Amino acid sequence: MGKTLTRFFAALCATACLAGAPAVASAAPYTLFDLGALGPPPGPGEWNLMQATGFNNSGQVVGFQTHLTQATDGSWSETGQTAWISGANGIGLSALPTLGGSWNRATGINDAGWVVGTSLTASGTERAFVVGPNGTSARELGTLGGSSSSATAINASGQVVGTSTTAAGIQRGFITDAQAGNLHELGSLYQGGTATSIPTAVNASGQVTGMSSASNGMDGTGRTFITGPNGADMREIPGPSPGEFSRGLDINDRGQVVGLAAPGFRDPTGFIAEADGSSRTLRVPLPPAGGEFPVSVDVWPGGINAAGQVVGRYHQGIFAEGLFVTGPDGSGATLVDYGPFSPDPPGSALYWSYDAALLINDAGQILANSGDGHVYLISPVPEPATALMLLAGLGLLVVRRKQCQPRENP
C-alpha cells in the first residue's frame, strides 16, 4: 500500500510539473490588500491620505499619512503628517517617532526593518533620520554643513542615501557609512557652484542612482546618474533620448537601473539600463484604440527587483490606464488586471496616481498608491499547478515518514 501511494504522489508531482510548464509565460493573477490607515476613522470635514514610499522583501511597507481638514469655504488644508511602518505583508500599521517636531515622513526600509526618512526637529529644522528595527527611537543623521537634510533609501548594510544642503546652501546628494554612519557628499555630473544631485535608490554594494542637474531649479539639465560602489565615481546613464531630461528611480543589486525620460518634459517614457550603461525603452503592449491610428502610451516606471522585473503605470490618452509589470530584465511587459480589485460601485476602476506602482520586491509583490488615498499591496497568486506540486510534495513527505516509523512488535 505504501509503495502504491508513493507512486501516486510521484505521478501527481510529474503531472503538476507538466501542467505548470506553459503557465510561466502567462500573467499570474493577483490579490490586493488595502493597508488601511493609522488611528480612528476621520470625522466630518477630515481626510487621511495614505502614501506608501517603500517596502522590503518580507512585504513590510513604510510611508506617511497626511491629515487634511476642510474649512468653511470648502477648501482643504494639510494639518500634519505621520510616518508609519507595517508588519510583514502589509499587515498592522504602527506610527514612527519624530525627532521632536510635529511631523515626519518615512521613505525607505531595508530587509532588516531599518527605516529612514525626514522629520521636523524640536528646533524647527528638517533632518534625515534612521529608526532601528524595533521602531522605538529615531536618530538624526546630520547634514553636509547646511541647515537641512532628508533621507530616501537604505541598503542591507545600513548605508543611507539622501540630500542635504551644504554650507553654501546648495542641495547635494549624500551616502553614509554602514549602519547609518557619517555622511559623504556624492558630487554632481556638472561643474560649478550651483550643480546639484538628488539620489533616489542604493543597492547592496552602495551603488546609487538618481538625478543630477546644473542648478536647483527644473532647468532641463536633469540627467540620470549611477555611481560605483560606496557612492564613488558618478557617471551619466544616457536615457532613450540622450541630451534630454531623465531621472533614475531604482537600482537592483546587479546594477540595473530603471528610470524616467521626458523629452521637453512631455511624453514620459520608461527605460531600463544595464550595468554597462546601455539602455532601452520599456514598451507596454497596448493596441491602438479602435484600430484607427496609433496612440502614444505614456509610461511611468517605478521600481525594479533582483530579477530585473519592472513595475509602473501606463496611460493611453482617454482610452486606458493602469499598472504594468515586466518579465526578467525588463522584457515582456504585461498589464495588471485589477478588475477583480474594483471597489463599489461594481465595475468601477481604481484610479492610480502618477507614482502609483512604486516598487516590486523579489517575491513579485507590487506596492501601489491609489488616487483614493489608499495604499495597496498587490501579491501574485501561485499558479494552480504550483499549489498542486506543494500539496503533492507534502503528501509524499507524510507517506515517507509513515514508512520510516518503526513497527511495534506483536
205-255 pLDDT per residue, tens? 999 999 999 987 667 789 999 999 999 999 999 877 777 889 999 999 999
Amino acid letter, 6 = T
- The answer on pLDDT for 197 being more than 60 is yes
pLDDT at 351: 65
Integer Cα distance of 126 and 243 in angstroms: 34
- The answer on pLDDT for 376 being more than 60 is yes
- The answer on pLDDT for 374 being more than 80 is yes
Q: Are residues 303 and 388 in the same domain?
A: no
Looking at per-residue pLDDT, the higher value among 293 and 57 belongs to: 57
- The answer on pLDDT for 337 being more than 70 is no
Q: Are residues 251 and 323 in the same domain?
A: yes
pLDDT at 353: 64
User: Is residue 285 assigned to a domain?
Assistant: no
Q: What is the DSSP letter of 294?
A: -
User: Is residue 324 assigned to a domain?
Assistant: yes
pLDDT at 4: 38
Cell numbers at residue 294, please?
Answer: 496609433
Looking at per-residue pLDDT, the higher value among 193 and 141 belongs to: 141
Contact 175, 208 (CB under 8 A): yes
Q: How many domains does the chain have?
A: 2
- The answer on pLDDT for 167 being more than 50 is yes
pLDDT at 399: 45
CA triple 59-376-283, angle to 5 deg: 95
Q: Are residues 349 and 264 in the same domain?
A: yes
User: Is residue 137 assigned to a domain?
Assistant: no
- The answer on pLDDT for 21 being more than 80 is no
pLDDT at 10: 38
Average pLDDT over every residue of 134-156: 94
pLDDT at 264: 60
Average pLDDT over every residue of 32-51: 89
Average pLDDT over every residue of 362-384: 86
Closest to 302 measured CA to CA, from 280, 270, 341, 332: 270
Beta strand segments in 59-159, E: 61-70, 76-86, 93-95, 100-109, 115-121, 126-131, 138-140, 145-154
Integer Cα distance of 286 and 292 in angstroms: 13
Amino acid letter, 328 = P
pLDDT bin (cut points 50, 70, 90) of residue 19 is very low
Q: Are residues 325 and 356 in the same domain?
A: yes
The pTM of the full predicted model, rounded to 2 decimals, is 0.83
Range of the domain at 306: 244-274+295-380
pLDDT at 27: 46
Q: Are residues 374 and 386 in the same domain?
A: no
Q: Are residues 256 and 335 in the same domain?
A: yes
pLDDT at 2: 44
User: Is residue 46 assigned to a domain?
Assistant: no
- The answer on pLDDT for 406 being more than 50 is no
Q: Which percentage of the chain shows pLDDT scores above 90?
A: 51
Contact 109, 85 (CB under 8 A): yes
User: Is residue 33 assigned to a domain?
Assistant: no
The residues that bridge with 174 in the sheet, in sequence order, are 162, 185
pLDDT at 365: 95
pLDDT at 387: 46
Q: Are residues 335 and 302 in the same domain?
A: yes
Mean pLDDT of the chain: 82
User: Is residue 281 assigned to a domain?
Assistant: no
Burial class (CB within 10 angstroms; exposed 0-12, middle 13-18, buried 19+) of 168: exposed
User: Is residue 365 assigned to a domain?
Assistant: yes
Closest to 282 measured CA to CA, from 263, 255, 261: 261
Q: Are residues 258 and 337 in the same domain?
A: yes
Q: Are residues 259 and 302 in the same domain?
A: yes
